[in-house]
Amino acid sequence: MSASPAVAFTVDLEPDCPPFLWGWRGVEEGMPRLLSLLREERVRATFFTTGDSARRYPGAVRALVADGHELACHGMSHRAFPDLSRDEARAEIDESAEILRAFAPVTSFRAPYLRFPEQYVDLILDAGLTLDSSHAKYKLAYWRTRRADASRQQTRALTRVPASMTSSVLRLPRFVRHLILDALSSPVVLFVHPWEFVDLTHEHLRYDCRFRTGEPALACVREVLQRFAGRGARWITMRELDPRVTHTAA
């Protein structure tokens, strides 16, 4: 395991477990629990937020901004970008960025389901978003794009920071969870959803979405944060990994 890793704790603020549930218990019940946990463990996080969530729950967005977390863009409606036409994709990005920027500056982006077509990357940049976290190290698309980026030098305008693992890993039994997390290289990008902190174990859902949700998930994430803190982790927001923001700020 690497010493003193940089760790970004990221949250996708969205409806409950799309595309299966679409309720809002995560934002209403899970979000206050998550914000308290982050306050108690002194972790500043990045919240990739859908425009719909911000419009419905402006109080939740104000609360996360007030706690010093980074507000970031997760599209408008949590529809999958590969299903959208170019005009629809542009509308999703532009509308959500505008709604979110009424609360705080927004420069980071993550596509729903961690799926974003390469040919739409210019739409992110057009909206003034300069960091993309739509890829995941455990998905093949990340490695394919990395190779293409290197040859085409497309990375010039966009900083790419992939998620390190899928969110349900944080709810695995302690032994397996530690084994996986300790092997991740820095910067580590963790992610969770507020709906994981609501008991969904009795919902008709895919098993990986519902197992150990609610209080057990909260306890698992607290353990994860404390374990990284014990390793001397430096908690960072996504923006701190974006040279275009850090160089122009202040």
* Contact residues for Zn ion, defined by CB under 5 A: 12, 14, 112
Strand partners, 70: 46
Which helix (H) or strand (E) segment is 201 a member of? none
**Minimum Å distance from CB 247 to Zn ion?**
29
User: Between residues 5 and 18, which has the closer beta carbon with respect to Zn ion?
Assistant: 18
**Minimum Å distance from CB 107 to Zn ion?**
18
User: Between residues 138 and 176, which has the closer beta carbon with respect to Zn ion?
Assistant: 138
User: Between residues 14 and 16, which has the closer beta carbon with respect to Zn ion?
Assistant: 14
Look at the alpha carbons of 236, 72, 219, 211 in this order and tell me if their dihedral is positive or negative: negative
User: Between residues 14 and 132, which has the closer beta carbon with respect to Zn ion?
Assistant: 14
**Minimum Å distance from CB 126 to Zn ion?**
22
Q: Nearest 5°: CA angle at 1, between 181 and 68?
A: 55
User: Between residues 193 and 212, which has the closer beta carbon with respect to Zn ion?
Assistant: 193
Phi, psi of 192 (to 5 degrees): -140, 175
User: Between residues 12 and 92, which has the closer beta carbon with respect to Zn ion?
Assistant: 12
Distance CA 92, CA 89 (A): 5
Write out the two tokens for 143.
């490695």
**Minimum Å distance from CB 82 to Zn ion?**
14
CB atoms within 10 A of CB 119: 9
**Minimum Å distance from CB 242 to Zn ion?**
20
Distance CA 81, CA 202 (A): 30
CB atoms within 10 A of CB 232: 9
Q: What is the largest CA-CA distance in the chain?
A: 49
User: Between residues 8 and 233, which has the closer beta carbon with respect to Zn ion?
Assistant: 8
Q: Dihedral through CA 168, CA 173, CA 176, CA 178, nearest 10?
A: 80
Write out the two tokens for 161.
């920071």
**Minimum Å distance from CB 243 to Zn ion?**
26
**Minimum Å distance from CB 95 to Zn ion?**
17
Select the residue whose beta carbon is closest to Zn ion and give its number.
12
CB-based contacts of 1, cutoff 8 Å, min separation 6 = 182, 183, 231
